[in-house]
Structure 1
Amino acid sequence: MIRIVCPFCHAPLGANELEMATFDGHACLVCPVCDNLLVTENTSANASLPSQHEDVVDA
């Protein structure tokens, strides 16, 4: 099983534990522990990312 560590809260997470969301057309994963976004698609250098999932529209 693939496990990652959240760069914000440092919680060890399995890929199946992360919630899916979209922000400005980009697929994201949300940490269920701290609710921060883990962006999975490349974004432009000018894009600013929110730090909380409340700013995200669920797909």
Structure 2
Amino acid sequence: MCESTAYSTDGSLIMEDVLLIKIEGNQIHLTDIINQKKVIKGTITEINLDKHGIYIDMED
């Protein structure tokens, strides 16, 4: 499988096993392998495909 883990830029875990990312303005929609969804506000700063990591600068 090709799932990834989403982290904030401070290293905090946001979501594991992410399969789908949709961007709508400043909202990031994440969906995992069991179809759980999470919507956060922020900006993706890095996607590391080798380490399966997505790094997000979270808005307050």
Tell whether the structures are fold-level matches, with TM greater than 0.5.
no
Which structure has the highest strand share of the two? Answer: 2
Structure ranking higher on relative contact order (CA contacts 8 Å, 6+ apart): 2
* Pair member with larger Rg: 1
Normalised by the length of structure 1, the TM-score is 0.29
Normalised by the length of structure 2, the TM-score is 0.28
Which structure has the highest helix share of the two? Answer: 1
